[in-house]
Amino acid sequence: MPISKRCWFTFPTRSQVEKPIIWQMSQKFPSVSFDIRQASVQNEIGIMAVLLIGEADQVQGAIDFLRSSGVTVEPIEKSVVEG
């Protein structure tokens, strides 16, 4: 059963910003689709809001791959206001 996970990807150094890490992830985990929802990339840092969709183990594998490449991956929390 496919899942979707919304995450912040932070590329903390120039080295991570300049590498094709997202492309590498897509080659290593071709069954995981991704949708870049928002991005801000500078010379020294990059931040992206990304939706990952796929089987749970494949999505987790993609996240683990990104983390092993030096990318910080954090869930995007929905803020819910009750009224």
Helices in the chain by DSSP H: which ranges? 14-18, 21-28, 56-68
Question: Bridge partners of 46?
Answer: 11, 41
Find the distance separating the first CA and the last CA of the chain, reported in whole Å: 34
Residue whose pair of structure tokens reads 């969709």 in the numeric block: 53
- Is residue 57 in some structural domain? yes
**Per-residue pLDDT tens over the stretch 15-31:** 888 999 999 999 999 99
**Per-residue pLDDT tens over the stretch 29-57:** 999 999 999 999 998 999 999 999 999 99
Q: State the pTM of this model.
A: 0.87
Q: Is the pLDDT of residue 62 over 90?
A: yes
- Is residue 70 in some structural domain? yes
Q: How far is CA 55 from CA 45, 51, 62, 75, in A?
A: 30, 13, 11, 17
Q: Is the pLDDT of residue 82 over 90?
A: no
Question: What CATH number corresponds to the domain at position 46?
Answer: 3.30.70.260
Its domain, for residue 41, covers 2-75
